[in-house]
Amino acid sequence: MPKLLAPPPPDSTLSPIAGNAGLPIIGLGLDYIRDPMGLLESRWERYGPVSWLSMAGKRWVTVMGPDGCQTVLQNKDRAFANGDGWSVLIGPFFHRGLMLLDGDEHLAHRRILQQAFTRERLSRYTEALHPAVEGALDGWHPRAGFAAYPALKELTLDLATSIFMGGAEGSSHQEMVEVNKAFIDCVQAATSVVRFPLPGTRWKRGIDGRARLEKFFRRYLPARRAGTGDDLFTTLCHIESEDGERFSDDDVINHMIFLLMAAHDTSTITLSTMMQYLGQYPEWQERCRRQSAALGTSTPSYDQLDELTDLDLVMKECMRLVPPVPVVSRRAVKDTEVLGRYIPRGSYVSVVVHFTHHMAEYWPDPEKFDPERFAPERREDKIHRYAWEPFGGGVHKCLGMHFAGAEIKTVMHHLLQRFDWQVDRGYRAPLNYTSLPYPSDGQPVDLRHRL
């Protein structure tokens, strides 16, 4: 039976939020991990765009559809906090990363960080990406059933350490494997049922992973403080706000851990999804390859990447089908409302991007791979300002979205020129939603060198 979250004040015209808790302790967490869209569709049909459920030991107000998502993400009355929402999930692991800051502090840190993502710096990052991508792909061994996801994840971590850190001098391959695992453990700890550092739990692995990452970055901090490189790590050590404010050592470490997680985890799932669909739709693979070849260079500049319009359509459609961050967290810092429903102060709120991206009202035949949705003559994403929101919205919209686009296009440019690949048209990736989505079978593709 549905239950009401909390009654609105006696003089209010707002409606209470209905929902259900699910199983004791774990709530509906397993239902979400097994079949997120199945769970979300059933709640939409039963409760509408705003309901509540239990997950990760907390009650969450679940907001679905672009109207509700827009209300929370735009946050015009400043009723929702980022830090309080994300901290309950990933606070101990990505402490004081930009996504976990709010208000004036968030604005101050964002203004400093923006200097690391100017068009001039993005151009330099793109130039540095090419040799790093080429070197990583030299180590790929094409075959039938090639596991694309782990190969791409290793590649994007290599890119992140190369471009964001200026390299990881003195680190062995085994150490970088451990760093990659530390990131995975930190991300997966977000859905831990046991939220104490007990041995054998995801939460404990996340705590240990965070300690491993801090140790790794602090080892390189003195050299970056003294350096003059163009990498992000060195940049964060030296950039200042207009008022002369600079990041402390702890600030630099916190931002680096968060940014490297965001830079390689989210890009990996988008690249993996693109490889799947381009393998299933060879006509699109060839369209993208021809356009890539037409640039006449193996190392396109940041400006030249804008000419890869077909690849851009594919990238956007893949981010729609599998948004790298399917749910965004917030917490109400005062009594407020969404779509006429009363949300009491202290409520945890989940903005479900994933559901919006699959609503037939905005995306005809939403499960179909159709990059032309984003073509100028259609622009289905413009039907509603928040119909397509893989980078979030409002003041917390992803700061690295332009770098992500450049990185993904650069990697795909090299893949298209070097390889052909195929994926059975009937294949559906078994996505694991324990944390950020990833294909649990490694995303197999039949990969071969181009003749």
pLDDT digits (tens, 9 = 90+) for 211-256: 999 998 899 899 889 887 778 888 888 887 777 778 899 999 998 8
Q: What is the reported pLDDT for 47? A: 96
**Spatial CB neighbours of 46, under 8 Å, sequence gap ≥ 6:** 2
Would you kindly state where each structural domain of the chain is located, as residue ranges? Answer: 3-449
Which of 195-199, 200-204, 315-319, 367-371 is predicted least confidently? Answer: 195-199
Rounded Cα–Cα distance for residues 70 and 196 (Å): 34
Sign of CA dihedral 396, 399, 400, 401: positive
Buried b (16+ CB within 10 A) or exposed e, 250-280: eebbbbbbbbbbbbbbbbbbbbbbbbbbbbb
Structure tokens at 364: 């005809």
Rounded Cα–Cα distance for residues 429 and 279 (Å): 13
Give the closest residue to 281 by CA, choosing from 427, 439, 154, 182: 427
Rounded Cα–Cα distance for residues 66 and 125 (Å): 34
Q: Quote the pTM value.
A: 0.91
Sign of CA dihedral 164, 167, 170, 171: positive
Rounded Cα–Cα distance for residues 306 and 299 (Å): 13
288 is in an annotated binding site: no
Average pLDDT on 280-295 reads: 98
Task: Look over the chain and give the mean of its residue pLDDT values, rounded to a whole number.
Answer: 91
Task: Work out the number of other CB atoms within 10 angstroms of the CB of residue 219.
Answer: 12
Q: What is the reported pLDDT for 404? A: 92
Most confident listed range (117-131, 159-173, 203-217, 368-382): 368-382
CATH number for the segment(s) 3-449:
1.10.630.10
Pairing mode of beta strands 438-439, 431-432:
antiparallel
Q: Which amino acid is at 176?
A: M
Q: Using an 8 Å Cβ cutoff, are 388 and 73 in contact?
A: no
Q: Using an 8 Å Cβ cutoff, are 126 and 305 in contact?
A: yes
Residue 184 has pLDDT above 90, yes or no: no
Q: Using an 8 Å Cβ cutoff, are 371 and 344 in contact?
A: no
**Spatial CB neighbours of 118, under 8 Å, sequence gap ≥ 6:** none
Q: How many CA atoms lie within 13 A of 180 on its CB side?
A: 22
Residue 1 has pLDDT above 70, yes or no: no
Residue 440: φ, ψ to 5°: -70, -15
Strand partners, 343: 336
Residue 141 has pLDDT above 70, yes or no: yes
Identify the three-state secondary structure at position 34. helix
- Which string of DSSP letters, residue by residue, matches 412-438? HHHHHHHEEEE--TT----EE-SSS-E
Residue 70 has pLDDT above 90, yes or no: yes
Strand partners, 11: none
Q: Using an 8 Å Cβ cutoff, are 351 and 328 in contact?
A: yes
Q: In angstroms, what is the C-alpha Rg of the chain?
A: 22
Q: Using an 8 Å Cβ cutoff, are 432 and 439 in contact?
A: yes
Q: Using an 8 Å Cβ cutoff, are 186 and 206 in contact?
A: yes
